[in-house]
Amino acid sequence: MEEHDIEFYLNKHNMQLNPNTKVVEAIRKRLVATNGYCPCVAEQNEDTICPCKKMREEGHCCCTLYVAK
């Protein structure tokens, strides 16, 4: 997903990147290890590519990479 698409979803749901840089760093490492799929979900499909379907549609991020503003 393009960076501008992620910004769109964050703005749409009044969210931001987690201000805790340690959390962000850990989740990003897991995203690299999972080839961009949500590290909180065992299934790897189109719905679990970060930002996952739940984040895109409901504005809820399970892994806390994105949090409410």
For residue 68, the tally of other CB atoms under 10 A from its CB is: 10
β-bridge mates for residue 16, sequence order: 67
Rounded-to-integer distance, Cα 35 and Cα 59, Å: 22
57: pLDDT strictly greater than 70: yes
Rounded-to-integer distance, Cα 53 and Cα 33, Å: 19
Query: How much is the pTM?
Result: 0.80
| pLDDT at res. 47 | 94
Confidence band of 4 (pLDDT split at 50, 70, 90)? low
